[in-house]
């Protein structure tokens, strides 16, 4: 029995034995090419056979926390910037005049149209993430909604606002569910809820501060009171 354990440790000490047997990873034909299933299977087999100590596990967890979590927390915050900061801007008369928001119906439509693309493409976006890999999917998602959000600075008119809100929803489709799915590859089942809660808690704290900032912006700009502002 002891010899079997020693053989197992020697066989897959670094957790890359099966991946190494496949040789160099083949170059993808194009950006949307599917992941190689042979490498995925090799990773799973390495994960099942690798032997590690408790100290090594803690070191790996610490490295993941220092690398993955900060990136995801920042992306969560930027996600809230793009999705909800239009509510902060709405308290400014110049914003309403630029986009011709003259009544509650126009404002409600501008908010709601975001979720058209978001809801319709959420499941297809997650399928795309599994097909091309998380790194390429998040690059597409963050770039798409970032450009849509940046374009708000140069857009004018109500039609421009609706188009950009729709494009922003398309860009963010599948992002939140994709992050949860991505987390599951890095953390064990009993670590997963705590690590998932951390970015969400930070975003909630930001949302509270954002609401306070919106009130101060409203006071500084001497705009109408919240009784005349549609809920959001």
Instruction: Give the tokens for residue 113.
Output: 């149209």
Identify whether the C-beta of residue 172 lies closer than 8 Å to the C-beta of residue 75. Answer: no
User: Do 13 and 78 belong to one domain?
Assistant: no
Locate the DSSP E strands across the chain.
none
Q: How far apart are the first and last CA of the chain?
A: 64
User: Do 47 and 69 belong to one domain?
Assistant: no
User: Do 73 and 42 belong to one domain?
Assistant: no
User: Do 42 and 89 belong to one domain?
Assistant: no
List, for residues 88-117, the tens digit of each pLDDT value: 777 778 888 889 988 889 999 998 999 998
Residue 60 lies in a domain: no
Q: What is the pLDDT of residue 163?
A: 92
Give exposure, 66-97, as e/b (b: 16+ Cβ within 10 Å).
eebbeebbeebeebebbbbebbbebbbeebbe
User: Do 96 and 210 belong to one domain?
Assistant: yes
User: Do 43 and 138 belong to one domain?
Assistant: no
pTM of the model: 0.74
Residue 221 lies in a domain: yes
Residue 57 lies in a domain: no
Rounded to 10 degrees, the C-alpha dihedral 208/210/216/220 comes to -170
User: Do 205 and 121 belong to one domain?
Assistant: yes
List, for residues 111-154, the tens digit of each pLDDT value: 899 999 899 998 899 889 888 888 899 999 888 888 888 888 88
Residue 1 lies in a domain: yes
Residue 56 lies in a domain: no
What average pLDDT score do residues 46-73 get? 84
User: Do 209 and 182 belong to one domain?
Assistant: yes
Residue 83 lies in a domain: yes
- Count of the separate structural domains present in the chain: 2
Identify whether the C-beta of residue 93 lies closer than 8 Å to the C-beta of residue 222. Answer: no
Q: Which of 83-92, 196-205, 215-224 has the lowest mean pLDDT?
A: 215-224
User: Do 47 and 98 belong to one domain?
Assistant: no
User: Do 108 and 161 belong to one domain?
Assistant: yes
Residue 195 lies in a domain: yes
Residue 58 lies in a domain: no
Contacts of 121 (CB under 8 A, 6+ apart): 170, 173, 174
The answer to whether residue 8 scores a pLDDT higher than 70 is no
- Look at residues 231, 86, 106, 222 and name the one whose alpha carbon lies nearest to residue 158: 106
User: Do 5 and 112 belong to one domain?
Assistant: no
Domain range enclosing 17: 1-25+35-51
User: Do 70 and 137 belong to one domain?
Assistant: yes
């Amino acid at each position: 029995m002891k010899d079997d354990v020693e053989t197992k440790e020697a066989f897959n000490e670094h957790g890359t034995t099966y991946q190494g047997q496949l040789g160099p990873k083949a170059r993808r034909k194009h950006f949307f090419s599917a992941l190689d299933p042979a490498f995925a299977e090799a990773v799973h087999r390495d994960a099942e056979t690798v032997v590690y100590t408790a100290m090594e596990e803690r070191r790996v967890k610490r490295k993941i926390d220092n690398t993955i979590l900060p990136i995801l927390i920042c992306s969560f915050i930027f996600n809230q910037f793009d999705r909800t900061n239009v509510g902060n801007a709405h308290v400014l008369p110049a914003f309403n005049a630029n986009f011709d928001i003259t009544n509650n119906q126009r404002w409600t439509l501008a908010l709601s149209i975001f979720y058209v693309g978001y809801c319709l493409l959420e499941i297809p976006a997650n399928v795309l993430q599994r097909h091309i890999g998380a790194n390429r999917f998040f690059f597409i998602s963050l770039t798409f909604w970032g450009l849509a959000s940046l374009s708000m600075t140069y857009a004018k008119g109500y039609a421009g606002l609706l188009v950009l809100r729709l494009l922003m929803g398309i860009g963010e489709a599948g992002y939140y569910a994709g992050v949860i799915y991505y987390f599951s590859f890095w953390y064990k089942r009993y670590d997963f809820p705590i690590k998932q809660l951390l970015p969400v808690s930070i975003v909630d704290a930001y949302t509270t501060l954002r609401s306070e900032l919106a009130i101060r912006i409203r006071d500084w700009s001497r705009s109408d009171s919240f009784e005349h502002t549609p809920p959001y």
